[in-house]
Amino acid sequence: MKISLAKDTFFYSLSSWGQKLLSVVLAPVTIAYFSPNDFGYLMLVNTIASFLFILGMLAVADQGLPRFFIDSSSEQDKKEYIASTMIITLAGNIFMILVVFLCVPFISIIFKDIENPLVFAFLVSAICFTQSYSYLGNNLLRWTFQSPLFTKINLIKSAVSVSIAIIGIVFLEWRVKQTILLTIVLNFLAGTWSNYAVREYMNISLLSSQKIKELLAYSWPLLGLNIFSFFTLSLDRVLLARLSNLHDLGIYSVSTTIASLFETATAGFFAATAPYFLATYKETWAPKRYAEYFTILSAVGVVSIVCLGLWGAPVISLLRRDGTYREIGIYIPWILTGSVLYYLGAYFAPGPYIQKKTYFSFIAFVLSTIVNVALCLFLIPSYGLLGCGVAVTISSLVSAVFNQFVSNRLFSIPNKWIRSFSMILGMALVTSILQHRISPFNINDYPLIIRALVTIILLIAGIIPFYRDIETADAADKAVAWFRSKLSFT
């Protein structure tokens, strides 16, 4: 069992990291050749397609099917659950596509920068459908423990996608629509490959009305959690496109690309926390060890905010010397801070899962969504992208504070989360002020050596408090060892 877990862990983590790293490789090319409007269009298509994907799946493929597939002892039952899931998913996607095309007359009214609503609707629908098509096959590869093939398919898809996109953008003058079409085609091919690999389970003749009822009865309540999770993480993008314009959404997209380097660097670390907590929480040393990990990740968050916040804009200026993204340094710290707070608050709050009171997680998503929407509606019309970034940070803070407060009542961890969140917010404020063009401390007016010195000073000031919290001398070594050995499913 340990050998199998270690093997699967390695391959799933390799797949996740490989895809994220390949996306990072593509980022400089798209920044150099795409305009902010291109980025905004791409993000809006992907965001709406992701929402339709959630609605069309009805939480069956990601929540219901794993539950019944794993628990079924009969191969016949497993095949019936899969056949039923296929029908539910197909019906849900067809309905969502019909809704999208019925809404074509209103697309240009809602998003004034969309010039061809019919093309926009087609791209959204195609992304949604091919994503759903490949999702079921990919998950079946995981549930049937074919992790090497799962990794192979996803890495090949990502590598081919990045390679063709770079060639198309640089040499063939592709722009955003051609890039989206490439994604659609490769999603379909990868989905065909993965579904063919598990074809023995794909027997539509085994459709069972009883299995459909069981799947829907189990999954319907969880659909709300998926929807509010999307609202928490992505609704601000839709509101920004609606209340501002695609240009601002494009700047936001580039900012999130820079901020995603934090997620890429810590993907395995965060993915491993849930199974690790559930496997070890009964140990006497567990609370103290969890606090050490929280402290280390908080320090990594501060380092990311300082380094990416102060150096993200200069790096982008090397790719685009026309000044298109000259003010992006103001926004990166806030968008990155929202991501850091979300991950720290959600992944280091094991109490509800340990005590089986997961409804608190749903409440956290609802609170965060309400705050996010309210602040976006209030701040974006007056402050544009900066208002959106602040709204994301505050809503993530609300979610993180609620999760930590509740979790520590259910399973106490001495992690000093108030101090950690304060340091993270403080660094975001300082780095944003240093980047603001009307600030007397505008760091862009000084040589790079001054920027480097300021970076070092902020890093020292930000890390020292966390360093003092690590009580055992080998805590960092333990964290590194855990990070290498416990990477889990992503």
- Ramachandran bin of 170, using left for φ above 0, alpha for ψ from -120 to 50, beta for the remaining angles: alpha
The pLDDT tens digits for 86-96 are: 888 889 999 99
d(CA 188, CA 185): 5
Question: For position 487, what pLDDT does the model report?
Answer: 42
Question: For position 488, what pLDDT does the model report?
Answer: 39
d(CA 227, CA 463): 36
More confident residue, 273 or 416: 416
Question: For position 484, what pLDDT does the model report?
Answer: 44
The pLDDT tens digits for 426-445 are: 999 999 888 876 656 667 77
Residue 66 has pLDDT above 80, yes or no: no
Question: For position 384, what pLDDT does the model report?
Answer: 87
The pLDDT tens digits for 305-314 are: 999 988 888 8
Tell me the three state secondary structure of residue 82: helix
* 31, 316 contact by CB (below 8 A): yes
Question: For position 6, what pLDDT does the model report?
Answer: 45
d(CA 54, CA 93): 10
Q: Which residues contact 324 (CB under 8 A, 6 or more apart)?
A: 35, 36
Residue 244: how many other CB atoms lie within 10 Å:
22
More confident residue, 313 or 53: 53
d(CA 140, CA 170): 37
The pLDDT-based confidence of 144 (bands split at 50, 70, 90) is low
- DSSP H or E segment with residue 56: helix 36-57
More confident residue, 215 or 154: 215
* 308, 27 contact by CB (below 8 A): no
Placement of tokens 């389970």 in the chain:
201
d(CA 77, CA 361): 31
Residue 481 has pLDDT above 70, yes or no: no
Percentage, residues of the chain above pLDDT 70: 84
Is the Cα dihedral 334, 335, 340, 343 positive or negative? Answer: positive
| C-alpha of 160 from chain center | 22
